[in-house]
A = this chain, B = another copy of it.
Amino acid sequence: MGGDKAPQIVVEGAHLAREKYPQAKFIIYGDEAQLRPLIKKYEGLDSVMELRHTPDRVTAHDKPAQALRSGRNSSMRLAIDAVAKGEADCVVSAGNTGALMAMAKFSLKVMPGIHRPAIATYMPTKVPNHGTIFMDLGANAECSSQNLLEFAVLGGVFSREVFKRAEPRIALLNIGSEAMKGDELVKAASEVFQQAHLPGKYVGYAEGDEIMTGDFDVIVTDGFTGNVTLKTMEGTAKLIKHMMKEAFNSSWLVKLGLLFCLPSLPGLAIIYFALKKFSKRIDPRYYNGASLLGLKGLCIKSHGGTDGIGFANAIGVAAGLAVGRFTDKVETELRRLGFEGQPEPQPEGAA
Which residues of A are interface residues toward B (Cβ below 8 A)?
A: 63, 124-126, 138, 141-142, 173-175, 180-184, 186, 207-213, 221, 223-225, 227-240, 242-244, 246-248, 251, 253-254, 256-264, 266-271, 273-275, 277-278, 281-282, 347, 349-351
Q: Is the CB of B235 within 8 A of A208?
A: yes
In the bound assembly, the distance between CA atoms of A139 and B300 in angstroms comes to 37
Q: Is the CB of B212 within 8 A of A175?
A: no
In the bound assembly, the distance between CA atoms of A141 and B205 in angstroms comes to 15
Q: Which residue of B lies closest to A267 (CB)?
A: B260
Q: Is the CB of B125 within 8 A of A239?
A: yes
* Residues in B neighbouring A124, C-beta threshold 8 A: 239
* Residues in B neighbouring A232, C-beta threshold 8 A: 208-209, 211, 229, 232-233, 236
* Residues in B neighbouring A138, C-beta threshold 8 A: 175
Q: Is the CB of A225 within 8 A of B227?
A: no
Partner of A183, one of B142, B244, B257, B263: B142
**What's the nearest-Cβ distance from chain B to residue A273, in Å?**
8
Q: Is the CB of B235 within 8 A of A213?
A: yes
**What's the nearest-Cβ distance from chain B to residue A75, in Å?**
23
**What's the nearest-Cβ distance from chain B to residue A325, in Å?**
32
7 interchain pairs, CB-CB under 8 A: A208-B232, A210-B235, A211-B235, A212-B239, A232-B233, A233-B236, A347-B349
In the bound assembly, the distance between CA atoms of A46 and B175 in angstroms comes to 39
In the bound assembly, the distance between CA atoms of A138 and B186 in angstroms comes to 14
* Residues in B neighbouring A207, C-beta threshold 8 A: 228, 231
Q: Which residue of B lies closest to A180 (CB)?
A: B63
Partner of A175, one of B224, B246, B259: B224
Q: Is the CB of B224 within 8 A of A183?
A: yes
Q: Which of A242, A243, A268 is the most central at the interface, judged by chain B CB atoms within 10 Å of its CB?
A: A243
Q: Is the CB of A264 within 8 A of B261?
A: yes
Q: Is the CB of B244 within 8 A of A270?
A: no
Q: Is the CB of B268 within 8 A of A248?
A: no
* Residues in B neighbouring A350, C-beta threshold 8 A: 349, 351
Contacts A126-B242, A228-B175, A278-B247 given; indicate if A235 touches B209 (C-beta within 8 A).
yes
Q: Which residue of B lies closest to A207 (CB)?
A: B231
Contacts A258-B267, A282-B240 given; indicate if A182 touches B228 (C-beta within 8 A).
no
Q: Which residue of B lies closest to A185 (CB)?
A: B224
Q: Is the CB of B229 within 8 A of A254?
A: no
* Residues in B neighbouring A271, C-beta threshold 8 A: 254, 257-258, 261
**What's the nearest-Cβ distance from chain B to residue A225, in Å?**
6
* Residues in B neighbouring A253, C-beta threshold 8 A: 270, 273-274
In the bound assembly, the distance between CA atoms of A251 and B223 in angstroms comes to 40
Other A-B pairs beyond A208-B228, A225-B225, 6, CB < 8 Å: A175-B227, A208-B229, A208-B233, A257-B270, A258-B271, A263-B264
